[in-house]
Structure 1
């Protein structure tokens, strides 16, 4: 049946044209964006997964940036640690040279001073982005620990978490204002006077004692004890900074490095108090041991030591190394240098291990990001070969649909001829 009111053929042709135009619009959008799933309306499930994976990839990119920042910090610390080892070697060689007879000790001391200044400069300069792993001021975990972000994970429930590499700065800090650095020798306490007070009070003056470690005598530190005997006048022996300077020289800066220094200070204090070394003297019996004895044994009564501490708990460090003091002091300092060399070498090895781990983790994370990119592409990327072929076919179909619509619309004109 032919109708003037309803052109069924035209309606059918127009519907086909609309469908073809819609398909062409989708195909052109895929070609222009390169995505077959660009919005949630295209495929809600794939769009959601792709969006989440893209977000995770951005987070992993930030993780790589954080690891690169951490690697730079490690590189700076490692370079400074290497320089520290070289400087320690130089200081040790100067101390050994100072032990030889006939050398110009004044010139050697100037060289040591310059090396110490250089070492301080290296430590102060070992900073990257405000972080200095070789210098600290405190003993708390918040001061002696840091972290480097090293990973980002998402579990099957969708929970996300950051992974971090913990770094114990107690293994890398060379100088700490609160003590305990790799280039420091203890807490610097004057209270025990290198083990002398413990030996004197607990074991008796004639018992052997053990030197407990390098320490400083500050301006306000003072230690006094009384000595008396039946055939000799009692004396009060006082040890303070003046005594140390007189026994070791002002260049020692009040620092007692070894048992030989301590014995020299105690014996000087006995003489300053009016005593005689024939009646009482401290003898060094080993690398860290000493005996408080006397040739005549005149002193047989001793009062407990009285200690006044200035409250300044100065830290003995590599910066206090000096050729002042006794020959035994130089040997003690050389031994301390060896200990510091071992500690800094171990610290450099630790930094190298951290750097190696960061390099491997960075490479893995970059590979992981590439894999995620591939996964996202598999889900949402358009096949450009397929899309271009489809577009060509749709363009042909569009032309045919337009032609069909034109023919359908022309049928009414043919009907009008019947009424002529």
Structure 2
């Protein structure tokens, strides 16, 4: 190594040590970004399921809004509707990763580390997709049902609004996921650049060192040859006096 310790070059060693510490700290940043990414991925997957459930609920509500239906047929549709409704509650309450859930009532906002100093973070807000929550609205709560044709017609409008709101919430989660992904790529490149920089500061240039060693070896061989020639000349000169 060109600089193996502070004794070799205190300034260079200090710079390299600080850069190495920053590079190592970026491992924690990458870990934080990865956890945030995974948490959002789970939330998005659950949100897609909620969208599918709402779509089915709208179909049931629309069918139940038919005034020509008898009580038995509407009751059957209501049973399906409430089962789908209850499934939304299960999905949103279980969409967690490592203890974090972004779509339940009072869900977790992601605040992933963005730099090695811990002074900057990328924040992705929670989206409450629970029954009666801010996205589905209070009109689509835990007691939502299709008791009558009129109630069913109203529910069609309610579920349509909920679908639109969920779409907007999913877009926000998607934007957040993209931000984390882009920053993770940047941090990876930054870490690589820091590691290369540290290497340039403290590691010997192998090509230069090899050329230097070769030159020394050549010089040494020439010296040995010169000494050998000198010895031969001395021997020849002594032979003249014999």
Find the aligned partners of 1:382 and 1:394 in 2 and give their Cα distance: 17
**Structure 2 unaligned spans of 5+:** 228-242
Give the aligned CA root-mean-square deviation in angstroms. 2.5
How far did residue 376 of structure 1 move? 1.5
2:184 matched to 1:184?
Answer: no
Cα 1:146–1:358 change in 2 (3 A) is closer
> Number of paired residues?
221
How far did residue 75 of structure 1 move? 0.6
Question: Which residue number in structure 1 is paired with residue 201 of structure 2?
Answer: 379
Structure (1 or 2) with the larger CA radius of gyration: 1
Cα 1:105–1:327 change in 2 (3 A) is closer
Cα 1:161–1:108 change in 2 (3 A) is closer
Aligned 1:386-401 pairs, distance under 5 A:
386-391=208-213
Find the aligned partners of 2:220 and 2:105 in 1 and give their Cα distance: 76
Question: Which residue number in structure 2 is paired with residue 119 of structure 1?
Answer: 88
Q: Describe the SS at the equivalent of 1:148.
A: strand
2:130 matched to 1:175?
Answer: yes
Question: Which residue number in structure 2 is paired with residue 69 of structure 1?
Answer: 35
Question: Which residue number in structure 1 is paired with residue 119 of structure 2?
Answer: 162
How far did residue 370 of structure 1 move? 1.7
Question: Which residue number in structure 2 is paired with residue 150 of structure 1?
Answer: 114
Find the aligned partners of 2:125 and 2:214 in 1 and give their Cα distance: 64
Find the aligned partners of 1:362 and 1:388 in 2 and give their Cα distance: 38
Moved over 6 A (4+): 395-401
Find the aligned partners of 2:219 and 2:59 in 1 and give their Cα distance: 91
The structure in which a higher percent of residues are helix is: 2
Find the aligned partners of 2:30 and 2:125 in 1 and give their Cα distance: 21
Q: Describe the SS at the equivalent of 1:136.
A: coil
Report the TM-score, using the length of structure 1 for normalisation: 0.48
- C-alpha contact (below 8 Å) 2:60/2:81 kept by paired residues: yes
For residues 225-269 of structure 1, give each alpha carbon's deviation from its aligned partner in whole angstroms, at most 9, with x where no partner exists: xxxxxxxxxxxxxxxxxxxxxxxxxxxxxxxxxxxxxxxxxxxxx
The equivalent position to 1:361 in structure 2, one of 183, 186, 192, is 183
- C-alpha contact (below 8 Å) 1:135/1:174 kept by paired residues: yes
2:51 matched to 1:85?
Answer: yes
The equivalent position to 2:162 in structure 1, one of 325, 336, 340, is 340
How far did residue 107 of structure 1 move? 1.9
2:153 matched to 1:331?
Answer: yes
How far did residue 145 of structure 1 move? 3.8
How far did residue 343 of structure 1 move? 1.0
Cα 1:72–1:145 change in 2 (3 A) is closer
Cα 1:119–1:161 change in 2 (3 A) is closer
Find the aligned partners of 1:150 and 1:42 in 2 and give their Cα distance: 34
The structure in which a higher percent of residues are strand is: 1
**Structure 1 unaligned spans of 5+:** 1-34, 138-142, 153-159, 186-213, 215-315, 405-420
